[in-house]
Amino acid sequence: MQQLALRERYTFVDFLYYITLLAVPAFTAFYAIANHSMAWLIFYLVLCIAAGVVILRFYCTHCPHYTRENRTIQCMFMWGMPKLFASRPGPLSLLDKAVALIVPTILTMFPLYWLFQKPGLLVIFILSLIVFLSTVRKNECRRCIYFDCPVNKAPEDMKSHDDTA
């Protein structure tokens, strides 16, 4: 099996690809909630934005894609956004790990009440989340330059690589 090179940089096309993949479960959830209550949809949208900021602060600030000298973020999930927090290179603390696990879980669980009322949408939501997570795991975690990430799956021989990018 051919070993892929580490992912030193992302392009805008990479960002568009992953955001499009993530848009399917997100818009499925938005649609299910909006069919019942615009107030809950607005609440969920605000929750998603707040969750993004929290993930940025506790998880992303450790990532080499964030800690670079650029003034904006250029990664597969955020592109062109100014860095709101100071870089914190190195391993995640227990709190950082907990936030990185709990926040996406909340975002995933919140719309389930409305999705269970529309089984077809629930199936789309679940399948599209599986595709998204599988794609990230298969294509990115095996090539990730953030070796301190708990889900990094880069081969050990690649982890000795010196990232000077």
Burial of 2 (0-12, 13-18, 19+ CB in 10 A): exposed
**Of 159 and 111, which is predicted with more confidence?**
111
Which pTM does this prediction carry? 0.87
User: What is the mean predicted confidence (pLDDT) over 39-58?
Assistant: 97
Q: What percent of the chain has pLDDT over 70?
A: 93
Confidence of residue 68 (pLDDT cuts 50, 70, 90): confident
Give yes or no for residue 164 having a pLDDT over 80: no
- How does the average pLDDT of the chain come out, rounded? 91
